Amino acid sequence: METAIRFFGRSPNSYFLFGPRGTGKSTWLKSAFPDALYVDLLIPEQFQRFAAQPSRLRDLIAASPDKKTIIIDEIQKLPELLPLVHLLIEEDKTRQFILTGSSARKLRRQGVDLLGGRAEMKTFHPFMAAEMGKWFSLEKALAIGMVPLVNDALDPARALAGYVALYIQEEVKAEGITRNVDWFARFLEALSFSHGSAINLNAISRECAVQSKTVGNYLGIVEDLLLGWELPVFEKRSQRAMVAHRKFYFFDCGIFRSLRPSGPLDSPHEIDGAALEGLVAQHLRAWIELSQNGCRLYYWRTRGGTEVDFVVYGENTFVAIEVKNSLRVRPEDTRGIREFVKDFPEASAAVLYRGSERILCREIVCLPVEEFLMSLYPRKPLSL
């Protein structure tokens, strides 16, 4: 696939750029800042050089005074550099530091000062459908996900299979995050059953045969490593009793598919449905963060079981979205979203489905999910 145009925009300020491995952070930075001074801490020689003497960074920068953008890749591997980076920013306000990482866990656990608020925090996401353009295929996305490292591989299925193993080896084991890597791997497999569902730590604990406290710690590790995230319940002006538990999603639907076991007792339709919901979730999350419009993403579920998959809420946006893994929309498929509109008539609402036509069902707009995903552009309103 030719190089896709990423929606991530340049900024004149210094910032942290976090994102899971393989999402294209380094590729984008090298393209956007070809003349920058680049330090890659994944290269053993560079890591050893600065680990032995962090002040060598000052010498490196002083030797290239014309280089005003300095990129340090995988900063979490050497947080000892951050105090010096902070000082260098204060000394010369014309310098821009871009510090990338696939995890902020080590920085936070060591109590590192994240540049005293001098740097923004940004996130790099997997591909969005509109970034891929004509190369986007809904069927392919549901099978292998949207991680550039996987999509650009000669054998995407093999690359996807090795992706989580790479994470466990290089992030979990190498950083000593947990002593028992095998337990953590079992936990990830059990967690895959919660993708797109409310998290039940006790159920996962029984499945993994580990204590609930350990499961809670493992969930924190997953979120710190940017492998997954939680979706809160929409409770504003609630007229009904709402559930309290958050839903969980892996950051990419392909990663979910690689972790989710399948066999004779597993429903392919159920797995496809969770993957489709996750694909919509990751697009909405990326659209919100790239748009910087102040919107937040939620889901809505009453204690009686009435649910809407996603609620996008912000100053100028109030949209409810239900996702259906079907070629047709039945009247009962719109029940949850119709109940939501009764409580919140100010909201726009839509059902996304696998069909090819835009239709009305019980006065609810139903549109092809592929059409919706392709219409998502940062800083443009949600198109329903």
Lowest average pLDDT, out of 171-175, 241-245, 372-376, goes to: 171-175
**Cβ atoms within 10 Å, residue 250:** 30
Q: Between the CA of residue 12 and those of 69, 119, 256, 294, what are the distances in Å?
A: 9, 11, 35, 21
Q: Tell me: pLDDT of 112 over 70.
A: no
Q: Which pLDDT score is estimated for 58?
A: 95
Q: Which pLDDT score is estimated for 108?
A: 64
Look-up of token digits 């680049």: 38
Mean pLDDT within 216-226: 89
Task: Give the C-alpha separation, 113 to 99, whole Å.
Answer: 14
CB within 8 Å of 365: residues ≥ 6 apart? 349, 350, 351, 358, 384
Instruction: Give per-residue pLDDT as tens, 357-377.
Output: 999 999 999 999 999 999 999
Q: Tell me: pLDDT of 217 over 60.
A: yes
Q: Which domains does the chain have, with CATH numbers?
A: 15-123 (3.40.50.300), 129-374 (no CATH)
Q: How far is CA 284 from the centre of its chain?
A: 10
Residue type, 74: E
Mean pLDDT within 48-76: 94
Q: Tell me: pLDDT of 330 over 70.
A: yes
- Residues paired with residue 101 on neighbouring β-strands, in sequence order: 18
Q: Tell me: pLDDT of 176 over 80.
A: no
Task: Give the C-alpha separation, 43 to 64, whole Å.
Answer: 21
**Cβ atoms within 10 Å, residue 7:** 18
Task: Give the C-alpha separation, 94 to 292, whole Å.
Answer: 24
Task: Give the C-alpha separation, 126 to 147, whole Å.
Answer: 5
Structure tokens at 80: 């000892």
Task: Give the C-alpha separation, 106 to 18, whole Å.
Answer: 13
Q: Which pLDDT score is estimated for 111?
A: 47
Q: Which pLDDT score is estimated for 183?
A: 83
CA-based torsion, 206, 210, 211, 215: positive or negative: negative
- Residue 37: pLDDT band (50, 70, 90) is very high
Helix 201-208 vs helix 181-191: crossing angle, to nearest 10: 130
Mean pLDDT within 98-112: 72
Q: Which pLDDT score is estimated for 116?
A: 60
